[in-house]
């Protein structure tokens, strides 16, 4: 009988997320004393991890924001990498909303950390995500807290060139997720222009509770990346890179907005002409080459030349396979307008 009462009470709490004392009595089926109610709440907390909180204003008991009646599935800790992506996105929303979102994310992260304390679980990857360990999540949460509280952080940073470790004091402004690699956008001690510090290269972080900074209202990561195709900010003058996409891939590309995009026009022949304004063409060139000949640069000549040079390097690196006999069983996919394979045929038939 008691178990049935608890199940009814738990289902009510899971559905409504709150309950009045009168509502609890109706589910219980009889009036109960203060000591009985305390015992019920203690059982909910100890046996079902549901610690009710009294809301004075609404005069109801509320469940924890992250609580659910249903037990977490095996491997739930693997969701921490998805939570990390949400944290990076939330930091871009800006106060006061980013503070409220981050508070909720902190609670979720604590729950997931309990199910996978060593961060050993890995979720299936549909797009690039951090190659994260436990230290990564700890570092991400601490730097996020420093950003929200406007605190100076002292870091030990391993440089990519030479792997030398340097100690720096930074004023962190934003977290930037670029294709699964996380960066801290921060001003360096003695500098006024922010830089990008890869989170996975930070090996130690200390925050002095009393060392705060005033955010410069004129600094904006959106403005910083205005002429960047991803994370690379060149020192050159912004230039237009005009790219044409084949009719087979045009709809797939046109369905999305792209960084540094200036214009995108569908042509009468079914192709797409898209123009980017970037301070450095390299990231755009690499993107174009990824289409395997279904995209090409129309101008300027310098960017097209760079694409040609990199294509030659790629061809040279694969020269060893040029005379490899074609397996009759191999298939080649033709792309449809939706970006998915349209049809397939044996290579010998193409």
Domain region containing 14: 2-62
**164 assigned to some structural domain:** yes
In this structure, are 137 and 206 located in the same domain?
Answer: yes
CA distance 150 to 253: 39
Q: Would you call 170 helix, strand, or coil by DSSP? A: strand
- Taking the CA of residue 27 as centre, how many other CA atoms within 13 Å lie in the half-sphere pointing to its CB? 20
The domain that holds 50 is classified in CATH as 1.10.10
Last residue of a domain, one of 174, 192, 223: 223
In this structure, are 162 and 106 located in the same domain?
Answer: yes
**339 assigned to some structural domain:** no
Report the sign of the C-alpha dihedral through residues 310, 311, 314, 315, in that order: negative
Task: Please give the pLDDT value at position 347.
Answer: 44
CA distance 300 to 243: 10
In this structure, are 218 and 125 located in the same domain?
Answer: yes
241 near 195, Cβ under 8 Å?
no
- Taking the CA of residue 60 as centre, how many other CA atoms within 13 Å lie in the half-sphere pointing to its CB? 11
CA distance 157 to 201: 6
In this structure, are 197 and 300 located in the same domain?
Answer: no
Per DSSP, helices labelled H in 149-242 are 221-224
157 CB-near residues (< 8 Å, 6+ apart)? 165, 166, 167, 168, 197, 201, 202, 203
- For the chain, give the percent of residues with pLDDT over 70: 87
Task: Please give the pLDDT value at position 348.
Answer: 44
**Cα 5 versus chain centre, distance:** 42
Low-confidence spans in the chain with pLDDT less than 50: 1, 77, 345-350
**201 assigned to some structural domain:** yes
In order, the DSSP letters of 146-164 are HHHTTEEEEEEEE-TTTT-
Distances (CA, A) of 140 to 67, 183, 318: 23, 10, 39
In order, the DSSP letters of 51-85 are --EEETTTTEEE--TT--SSPPPTTGGGGHHHHHH
In this structure, are 57 and 128 located in the same domain?
Answer: no
Task: Please give the pLDDT value at position 333.
Answer: 60
Residue with tokens 């046996």: 47
Task: Please give the pLDDT value at position 330.
Answer: 63
Task: Please give the pLDDT value at position 121.
Answer: 61
In this structure, are 163 and 215 located in the same domain?
Answer: yes
Read off the DSSP letter of residue 227. Answer: T
pLDDT digits (tens, 9 = 90+) for 297-342: 999 999 999 999 999 999 999 999 888 877 766 666 666 555 555 6
**54 assigned to some structural domain:** yes
In this structure, are 126 and 8 located in the same domain?
Answer: no
In this structure, are 52 and 115 located in the same domain?
Answer: no
Two structure tokens written together for 68:
């659910």
Last residue of a domain, one of 169, 197, 223: 223
Task: Please give the pLDDT value at position 346.
Answer: 44
The continuous run of DSSP H or E covering 272 comes out as strand 272-278
171 near 216, Cβ under 8 Å?
no
**349 assigned to some structural domain:** no
Two structure tokens written together for 208:
């002095």
**157 assigned to some structural domain:** yes
Structurally, the chain folds into a number of domains equal to 3
Two structure tokens written together for 128:
């690039």
Of 277, 83, 280, 287, the closest CA to residue 175 belongs to 83
Task: Please give the pLDDT value at position 127.
Answer: 74
86 near 98, Cβ under 8 Å?
no
In this structure, are 7 and 90 located in the same domain?
Answer: no
The domain that holds 249 is classified in CATH as 3.30.70
**327 assigned to some structural domain:** no
In this structure, are 147 and 210 located in the same domain?
Answer: yes
Rg of the chain over CA atoms, in angstroms?
A: 27
Of 151, 177, 154, the closest CA to residue 167 belongs to 154
In this structure, are 153 and 285 located in the same domain?
Answer: no
**214 assigned to some structural domain:** yes
**Cα 75 versus chain centre, distance:** 19
CA distance 198 to 219: 19
In this structure, are 138 and 266 located in the same domain?
Answer: no
Last residue of a domain, one of 223, 249, 278: 223
């Amino acid at each position: 009988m008691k178990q049935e009462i608890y199940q009814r009470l738990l289902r009510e709490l899971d559905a409504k997320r709150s309950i009045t004392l009168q509502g609890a009595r109706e589910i219980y089926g009889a009036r109960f004393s203060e000591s009985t109610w305390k015992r019920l709440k203690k059982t909910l907390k100890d046996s079902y991890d549901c610690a009710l909180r009294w809301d004075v204003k609404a005069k109801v008991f509320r469940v924890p924001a992250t609580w659910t009646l249903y037990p977490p599935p095996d491997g739930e800790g693997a969701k921490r990498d998805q939570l990390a992506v949400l944290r990076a996105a939330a930091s871009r929303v800006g106060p006061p909303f980013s503070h409220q979102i981050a508070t909720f994310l902190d609670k979720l992260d604590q729950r997931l950390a309990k199910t996978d304390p060593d961060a050993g679980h890995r979720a299936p990857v549909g797009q690039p995500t951090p190659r994260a360990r436990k230290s990564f999540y700890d570092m991400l949460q601490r730097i996020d807290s420093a950003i929200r509280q406007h605190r100076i952080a002292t870091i030990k940073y391993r440089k990519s060139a030479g792997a030398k470790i340097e100690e720096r004091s930074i004023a962190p402004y934003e977290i930037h997720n670029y294709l699964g690699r996380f960066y801290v956008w921060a001003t360096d001690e003695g500098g006024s222009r922010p830089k990008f510090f890869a989170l996975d290269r930070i090996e130690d972080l200390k925050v002095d509770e009393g060392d705060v900074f005033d955010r410069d209202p004129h600094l904006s990561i959106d403005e910083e990346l205005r002429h960047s195709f991803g994370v690379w900010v060149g020192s050159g003058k912004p230039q237009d890179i005009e790219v044409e996409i084949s009719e087979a891939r045009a709809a797939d590309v046109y369905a999305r907005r792209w960084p540094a995009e200036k214009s995108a026009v569908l042509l009468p022949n079914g192709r797409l002409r898209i123009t980017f304004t970037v301070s450095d063409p390299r990231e755009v060139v690499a993107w174009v080459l990824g289409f395997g000949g279904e995209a090409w640069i129309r101008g300027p000549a310098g960017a097209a030349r760079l694409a040609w040079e990199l294509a030659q390097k790629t061809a040279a690196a694969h020269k060893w396979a040029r005379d490899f006999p074609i397996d009759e069983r191999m298939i080649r996919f033709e792309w449809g307008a939706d970006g998915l394979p349209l049809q397939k045929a044996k290579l010998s038939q193409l």
